[in-house]
Structure 1
Amino acid sequence: MDELARLGVAALAGEYHSVVARAAAVRADALGLPFLCSSAVLDALTEQSTQWVARIAPAQSHGWQIYADFLLGAGHGRIAVAAEPSVYWASGTRILRDYLAPRGGTVIELDMRALTPTAVCDELVDSRATALLLLVGHPEPAVPIVKTVRRDQRLAEVMIGAPAGQPEFPEWAALLGDDGAAIPFLRYLPERLSPLGARVETVLRERLAEAPSFVAFEGYDTIAVLAEVLSSHGADRARTAESWPRVAVEGTRGKIQFSRTPGISVWQWAWTPIQVVDRDPAEPNRFRVLHAG
């Protein structure tokens, strides 16, 4: 961030992981450098309210509560989370527990620093959990956990979920095959793309030789917003930051506008459409929409 600021960039976009984005957002605020966050969902991107940072992706608390509604609707009240140490995974666990507990749900934490995939299976049996959520990295240890749980006959009725979206990517299907199907995750897409979204999907599908992920649409929308802001207000950093609340850009998934949202310290698009989807067991390269919020 410091190097880019010294180079004189007008604004920054991108990142990928919430922990990286938080570090970038905090520094952008300190430097007075406009930062448009495309994919990271961690609620607290900055510790205090900032005018310099805006975000396309929905906040984790919003999306993961929709995922929790899906779990309850599917009859899952005892939820095990296989989690690694990370502010992102810890935040997700807290959101799930705070939302599920008043509704009769229970969250059981499994510390992946101490457990092997086989030990995870034993814990699932002992805890009588009906769902296991993967709050871990991909491909390790997510892929070995899925393979081991799928092969344990004691857990044939246990649902595996991955709210952070690991099953979206082609590598997931390549590594897991049929085992990677029927694992619900969050995807930030509407039931139908806007006309712009449909055109973008066609172009990306041709270039990628496969269907684009929702992350591709986040990326396109980020560039569309920055292009509009910079063309309308020039490259002055302060004027860019001042323009966030006046943005009204047609994106691939609807009109993008930023506002102040309770509990969120950055300018936020509230909200992109959200779905819970999985890979169809009958056709793992096809996605099924299970729930929308």
Structure 2
Amino acid sequence: MASERFARWAARTEATLERLLPDPADAPSRLHAAMRHATLGGGKRMRPLLVYAAGTALGAGEQALDAPAAAVELVHAYSLVHDDLPAMDDDDLRRGQPTVHVAFDEATAILAGDALQTLAFSTLAAADAPAALRIDWVRTLADASGVAGMCGGQALDIDATGRAQSLAQLQRMHALKTGALIRAAVRMGALGGGADAATLAQLDAFATSLGLAFQVRDDLLDIEASSEQLGKTAGKDVAQAKSTYPALLGIAGARTKLEELADDMRTALGPLGAGAAALAALGDMAVRRTH
């Protein structure tokens, strides 16, 4: 069953992260503790699950996917630490616990984010994989993390705060801020499974729709769910006057958009047959999730 595989993959991710993260008993202990606070014991682990689902669909062994799965989660964790800072979203709750700058301090949070990001790339560089594959993994994750990906999307988000965006502008922003790392996770898994160009294109189409669906659902949850359900502060988008899919399309329109994206994901995975069942289940989880 998909749920059993997801539990196993999440456990593998946690074990790999536990092994990679520095011991808080060692100096600088405060920084090490902050890195672990940001990374361990929480989150949906959606991005590592996508690495495993895409890779195993193409015949890769789980052990061969441990490094890229952990690396993409380390980058995701770093991005959340920095996103929560007072200079960004200024949030005090993440994954049901105090954000890193609240639990520690701002300087430690900045350093923890920096250290998590560099750990991601050192993990890929040291992975037990052919050099060409390691380079492809590094390039994929770097492209998704920088100005053409997550950082660029965050800059667009900051620029747009307090002013209206068009639907096209909103989709571009989220394709970079949220979608790029999701696409990278799927691609890194597929590369680990030796995907050809046609398969990579199919999976990229799936991941593009998944990334957008994840954000549309996130926008709906920001309105419909409580902070306790989300594990982060609810209602932030409205409070900051941000453009969202419900704001531009209406709640009913956003739900319709979500169903259209679910259809797009199914279409993209169709040529891959039964082997893509885990990816399909993750797509469905993104559309139906309640937190």
Q: TM-score per shorter chain, which class?
A: under 0.3
Report the TM-score when normalising by structure 2. 0.25
Report the TM-score when normalising by structure 1. 0.25
- Report which of the two structures shows the higher radius of gyration computed on alpha carbons: 1
- Higher share of residues assigned strand: 1
